[in-house]
Structure 1
Amino acid sequence: MKIRKFFRGSGRVLAFVFVASVIWLLFDMAALRLSINDVNSQLLKELVVKERAAIRRQATRRTHVENRVFKHPVQKVPVDLRNDVKNSKKYENIAEVYRKKQKPQPGIKEHNVAQNVANPKPDSVTLHSQKSDRKVNVKHMVEGLNGREVARNQKEATLNISKTMSNSDKVRFPKAVTQTIKGTVAKDNPQNGILSNVKDPKLTKAPSGVQEERHVITKVPQFKEESQKEKNKENIKVSSHKKTNETAKPGLQQQLPKNDTKVQPKPDSQVAAVVNNAQQNTGPLNKSDPYPVKTQIQLTPQHMAQNVEPNQVKTAFVREKGGLHKVMALDVTLKPRDARAVGQFGQAAAVPKDKEQEVQNRWNEGHFNVYLSEQIPVDRSIPDTRPALCSENMVHNNLPTTSVIFCFVDEVWSTLLRSVHSVINRSPPHLLKEIILVDDCSTKDYLKEPLDAYMAKFPKVRIIRLKEREGLIRARLAGAAQATGEVLTFLDSHVECNIGWLEPLLERVYMDRRKVACPVIEVISDKDMSYVQVDNFQRGIFKWPLVFGWSTLPEDVIKKNHMKDRDPLRCPVMAGGLFSIDKKYFYELGSYDPGLDVWGGENMEISFKIWMCGGEIEIIPCSRVGHIFRGQNPYKFPKDRQKTVERNLARVAEVWLDEYKELFYGHGYHHLLDKSMIDIGNLTEQIQLRQKLKCKSFKWYLDNIYPDMDAPLVKAEGLVFNLGTRKCLAIQNRTIAFATCDLSNQNQHFNYTWLRLIRQQGLCVVPQGLGNPVSLEPCDNTKAQQRWMINTNKLLAEHIIVESTPRRMCLEASSKGDGIYVRDCFSGSDLQRWQFTHYYAQ
């Protein structure tokens, strides 16, 4: 009845309003939900469209092998090529596998000009287009021509090139083709040349980065020098080289367009053509003396390899102060590469059955397949294994020059030459100051006069010969002392540098002179000489006792830092054979420890020195160098090899490891503690150098540079509990006894060290013979009689065993708990079972 009263009169109206409001609210909520769903659907649809468009754009620029999956640190590049293929068309797709490219996008990306001032033979100009496979071979004839013919043929050649260019290229490079062609014909003498199309039906289709056509022999007149005003207005310029004497060396000029969508140099920019060592190699330029030059122009994608003839050309790179450019993708060859050559494109080479015995007989010459190495061209093409978009990276124009230093002793002829050729063929010449070959007193005859004669063809190669065997470390110091480049680049003498390897290294050093840049070291198989790709995010580390190794960066670190496969990778320890370092900084660090002998430990020494004294070591994924990894070190040591390496590592440990040096000695190098057995030399200068550089501690290095390294200072610590007596060891009045276990009592705390001592403060538990009680003596790391072994096997897992005697004796508590003795080991006795509170290592 009470409820009905509320619904009479005005109450009924209020109830109706309330119900209507609730219904209206429900309708509003439903409508709002529908509208939100519509918005979300629209946003999702737009997102999907954008992602698909981004994938398409990415696919057009992708330069890596699709669906590449690595389950191991080292993985071979998937290639299926038959050596007996006779039809050259079957090589058309090799470029996509070995250069990791999709179909090139329309547009002109690069412009390279190769000039030969040393060879008066007629040569060619070849123009390439990205959009089509058509080629325009431009032949210049010098005699019997008039000015009208020159002009008419110039115009025809320009139109032919323009037809092969996309509309976007015509916008980006409105004058590039015209200026290039005009630059090849002397303006002051129209009688000197003509442009005409010459087709060669015998062209061989080869991968990008490999010579794609035969040279058409022509004569090209001298380039006329342009004014500074004209240089600022035009995108592509050709400078002039003149011959002044018979000893004039070849020269090459190159220029790459900037990466902007519109190539328009600023009016106030200072652009200059820089020729590396031009005065040294070509002599002063005589503008009035025309001289025919050998020229080859390629208009190809920026990331494609360039092919010009080394030793007959030099590169002048047009740079703008403070400007940037894409990484140059050079791949020079002595002559058009033979696509069917053994091992070409980094393929595995097969040994004929009748040559297998020869392979075995010659294996010890280098501890790899020397026979196959000799069958492979010295300038073979290898796969471009850089991560995606490395070819799009921008580097500074004014990078420092470098001296590349190879140290060798009795190196195999073919691998040494291939190493040198790979540097010459794939390094921007204006950055390559010199190549220094340091011969560490080789005994092979072919490394004497024949090597001198061969390298005489390369103006930038110098050979330094040491009078007696010094070893790798001092040989490198000898090479560094003679180097004139701003950056020192050390390489092993059995490598193959990959496309675009040098500029990324120099860029890191340029950005911070304290950075030491290392390339990704890929594998050249010692058995079949194939080029093997390595997995990403591999860094150099060490394990005790200072053993170098490779480890993948932890996945959580990669995700946390949003790392990409082309990002520089901090490297706790470098491999030591391949790296670039600022020359002045190298000597500020004290270079290598000159007390290190021959080989071994130098990579540890310089790595610790760099990190602890303010520098950084980085692996640069966009720089790749293949290296022959051999199962055995083929080099001879003046002294015992093992003792030499051990001595070097001991020097490193004493100078740089601080209190952690016990971990080094405790992993099998106890004998190095006896100075009467081995002399590691005077360490005073190295210790003073560390103090002068104000280097950080090794603990700082472990905490900040290599935090995932397991390096406990002791193997076990805490109370030493005896299961038989249920009591713990204690020190009372400088004697050892038993006491009720008490964690707060410091007299009951012991350490079991890496040198196998049971230590309490400066006192150690020492056995006194079978049946006798143990005693306490001042700890001495060199005394073997103070060492105990723990956890040696399952039967004696909790026993403490005397190490210095052949008879197995164990630490045992008396049955009454009033003494500690040494008895014959018995696995069933609880009086011989001991437990530390904490164990850190076995």
Structure 2
Amino acid sequence: MQKRGSLARDAKANFSPARRRRGLQHPGEGAGPLWVTWDYGAGVSPAGLSSEEALGCRTGVREPGVSCVLCSHLGEEGAAPSCPGLRICPAVGGVGAAVWQCGGSMEVLPCSRVAHIERTRKPYNNDIDYYAKRNALRAAEVWMDDFKSHVYMAWNIPMTNPGVDFGDVSERLALRQRLKCRSFKWYLENVYPEMRIYNNTLTYGEVRNSKASGYCLDQGAEDGDRAILYPCHGMSSQLVRYSADGLLQLGPLGSTAFLPDSKCLVDDGRGRMPTLKKCEDVARPTQRLWDFTQSGPIVSRATGRCLEVEMSKDANFGLRLVVQRCSGQKWMIRNWIKHARH
């Protein structure tokens, strides 16, 4: 299969009225929703198209129905529901990537119709979040190779003892080997290069301070520029990622180039409060770099000051984040992928 270019560029070229009428082959539809595997429930148009463009090439296909067809492609006819080991119909992105890896392709057929008949009783209980995570982790463990950590990061759960029993995947791994499927790296390079790569992550998860038990580092208001301390809840606003480059980023992952990425914590040396900025917008790159070790301080490489917590009647919950002369406060982060080399 020849190497693909930008999906967004290909999409706008491919979705011409003539091609819509006769059907077309386009990698974006198979790859575009893969972010569902990373961050279930986020919203983005297929292949980076605007909402208008996406509506202009309707397929009449619902994701669960497509997923069932894809599972058949992978040698799983008769599976219920959809795929062995999955408790709900899988996110089409996770299985769609597998189709590409195993020599198939995803196609947009605008005149096709796929029916999806709802069951009167669902085969899972009301906690769909648990089963969505379970499916995502199964797909990650079987198909994503060294990139599987991205799924755990997106859900903000540990890679060891994640609290989700995703079952035995040995048969799925054997199927992949039997079909001689390509690597996930090949998929990223040839089908969906727009996906962001976070393989330089050393550690991720909730970050707590020794002086503020029960409170976690939080991105605060989504459109704001101030990190805060907030009661720990483990959701994506409290996802902190520390990279081998020394970046300390807060908030949900921007899993594709079509979504905003998490912001960098910055000490510009001008005030006592750290700011959050788009990493590429930081004037001096060293202002966004930090040194961090487990149960140790978080130190700005630009100023030598420490990220610390101070008591304040004016702050939410009486706690304020500041950068100041180091006083010995310690920070703990939940999950380590690999330890930094010093």
TM-score category of the 2 structures, normalised to the smaller one: 0.3 to 0.5
TM-score normalised by length of structure 1: 0.22
TM-score normalised by length of structure 2: 0.47
